[in-house]
A and B are shown apart, each in its own frame.
Chain A
Amino acid sequence: MEATIASIVAAAAPLVFAAVGETITEKAGVVNLSLDGSIALSAMAAFAVAFLTGSVVLGFAVGALLSALVAVLVAFSGIRLRLNQVAVGFVLTLFLAALAQFLGNPFVRQPGPSVRPMAVPVLSDLPFVGKILFDQNVSVYASLVLIVVVAWVFRRTRIGLELASVGERPEAAHARGISVSRYRFGAAAVGGALVGIAGAAFSLDVKLGWSDTQVMGFGWIALAIVIFGGWRPIWVALGCYLFGALQVLALKLQPVFPGVAQILPSLPFPLMIFTLVVVNSDRLQRLGERFPFLGRLLVSDAPAALGTNFEI
């Protein structure tokens, strides 16, 4: 049991990076649809760099940088060029996935360096949680810290509040002297870097090595989980772990019910759709108004200005 949960936490780490990163970007009102391609490119580049230099850290850095640049390009095309962010993001998705496949060809299924496990002394001996939270590697620890930090930033800090205001009511934020563009570029860069780290974590930690089929679809799953989690970091992270649990379940069911096992990994999508329908239903909205606590728990809308281009 502990070992299973520990493996879920470890396997979900890349998804946590990507989904929480995209949450940050979307909170500011920018929608970076390019995730599936960005993750592929960063996974390939991170592995290639680590393979050629022997440095895993450098691999992560290059992966983060590339996806941050992509996210900034999406933001730029929306903010400066006033193009449709969805269109640019979608084209980038296909383009970058093909590019990663093309450039990564020499590295396919090569054995290469990876993140080493590193148990935290003392804490890893704690009963139950020790194995799950403190007997992992740096990449997994970072994913756990990230969830807490991002949730805290959004809830407790000025930067978090201002960032959300830019995504909800850019005109109001602008009137209060907040630089809408700066926040949006910043959120795109930070969120994009996290997406890149997700890619690097795939090829240097979870899946070990590069092949174009192994990261396919994870970007779309991350985008779905952001909605499923209602743009709230902790809920988004829980969505990632739920997905990880479904994958483990699918693996265990494979020998018994091969058909069912094929379907389970796509479950986040019906779940996301179901969540959206329920959250948007009048009845739940009314319930939320009557019981504010329940409302805060269940109802969470998209940032009001998501994907729109703000012009001064």
Chain B
Amino acid sequence: MRRALQVVPALWSVLAALVVSVILLALAGAPPFRALGLVLDGAVGDGGRMADTLMSWVPLTLAAAGLVVTFVAGLWNIGVEGQVIAGAIGATWAARTIPGEGFVVIPAALAAGVAAGALWALAAGVLKTRGGVNEIFGGLGLGFVAQSLATYLIIGPWKRAGIASTSGTEPFREEVWLPTVGGTRLSPVAVILALAAIAVVWALLRGTRFGLRLKAVGANPASARLLGVPTEATILRAFALGGGMAGLAGAVLATGIQHKLVPAIAGGRGFLAILVVLLAAYRIVWVAPIALFFAILSVGSAQLQLRLDLDSSIGGVLQGILVLFVILIGGWQALHRRDAEEP
């Protein structure tokens, strides 16, 4: 898997993904190159759109940075989607209950998001280390629980005065919104948080004992234990850290983008972050650019719906096919290398 992002398969895959999407667009009766142009224009065409793309990049990058930590430890943290939701729930709770000025409540809401996401991930971690429940299924299960919890809160205890609808809670007080600049939706705080997350994970994996332990556990948990690495503690810390970053992503979504809790608050961003990390072959330096590329596709695809009456899912198709081709072509080349080596 680490080989997945060698340059050649990556180039082939980009090309193949492009060809497939052109065919798909043609099938749907749309002029393919105009459509791709619209995607770009929709994502980076003017300042406001760039701001939207960046604000879509932030949660994706936060969740992906956290996933690098868990993936390096050999953990398939599919529960990340639920951790994003949990973070949004935590932030919403803080934004609703803590009184006072924004500079008090906003940090509290972000911290509550981190705590909730970390807690949700720790649950998957404890289920794995103590309960013998594979983290894929434990995490997935907890994800659905988080989703139901959010829906329940929205139409139950946190419902808008008078009406119980799934359109979301009452918007937060404006002081609690992440401050924005230049009349756009861009929040510098959010961007700084995402960059900080990248830096933290980079430094962690690069030069700390914990980073080494993560890699040891990821490479071979049994021998790591024999060599004296506290396996369980390392796994739980990886979950807490990864979940905390996913929770922060959820908190940014709630306080910086939606300004309330909605049922689809995560909207598949956690799952998309897994694709980002797979494409990055678990390397943190690649996370930011790939997440940006994905954010451009996601935000830009909305234009296709508006301008060409195409389904906006084309962005998801492109992202999916790209990652699929990178993985499959990488595997194919490795196979041929092996065949060539074996006499």
Q: Are B320 and A266 in contact (CB under 8 A)?
A: no
A272 partner residues in chain B, CB cutoff 8 A: 137, 141
Q: Which residue of A lies closest to B138 (CB)?
A: A273
Which among A90, A94, A223, A270 is the interface contact of B145 at CB below 8 angstroms?
A270
Q: Which residue of B lies closest to A277 (CB)?
A: B131
Q: Chain B: interface secondary structure?
A: helix
Q: Which residue of A lies closest to B78 (CB)?
A: A90
Q: Are A262 and B331 in contact (CB under 8 A)?
A: no
> How many of chain B's residues have a CB under 8 angstroms from any CB in A?
52
> How many of chain A's residues have a CB under 8 angstroms from any CB in B?
43
A18 lies within 8 A of chain B by Cβ: no
Which among A92, A99, A258 is the interface contact of B317 at CB below 8 angstroms?
A99
Given contacts A90-B78, A92-B324, A266-B144, contact A82 B137 (CB under 8 A): no
Q: Are A277 and B127 in contact (CB under 8 A)?
A: yes
Number of A-B contacts (CB under 8 A): 140
Given contacts A91-B323, A277-B127, contact A269 B145 (CB under 8 A): yes
Bound-complex Cα distance A280 to B335 (A): 37
Which among B142, B274, B335 is the interface contact of A81 at CB below 8 angstroms?
B335
- List B residues 128-161 near A (Cβ within 8 Å): 131-133, 136-138, 140-142, 144-145, 147-149, 151-152, 155-157
Q: Are A98 and B316 in contact (CB under 8 A)?
A: yes
Bound-complex Cα distance A269 to B24 (A): 36
Q: Are A101 and B327 in contact (CB under 8 A)?
A: no
A141 lies within 8 A of chain B by Cβ: no
Bound-complex Cα distance A100 to B78 (A): 22
B28 lies within 8 A of chain A by Cβ: yes
Q: Are A269 and B144 in contact (CB under 8 A)?
A: yes
Given contacts A81-B334, A83-B328, contact A105 B132 (CB under 8 A): no
Q: Are B148 and A224 in contact (CB under 8 A)?
A: no
A276-299 CB mask vs B (1 if < 8 Å, else 0) is 110010000000000000000000
Bound-complex Cα distance A262 to B156 (A): 10
A276 partner residues in chain B, CB cutoff 8 A: 127, 131-133, 137-138
B194 lies within 8 A of chain A by Cβ: no
Q: Are B324 and A95 in contact (CB under 8 A)?
A: yes
A310 lies within 8 A of chain B by Cβ: no
B281-294 CB mask vs A (1 if < 8 Å, else 0) is 00000000000000
B223 partner residues in chain A, CB cutoff 8 A: none
A98-125 CB mask vs B (1 if < 8 Å, else 0) is 1101110100000000000000000000
Bound-complex Cα distance A87 to B324 (A): 9
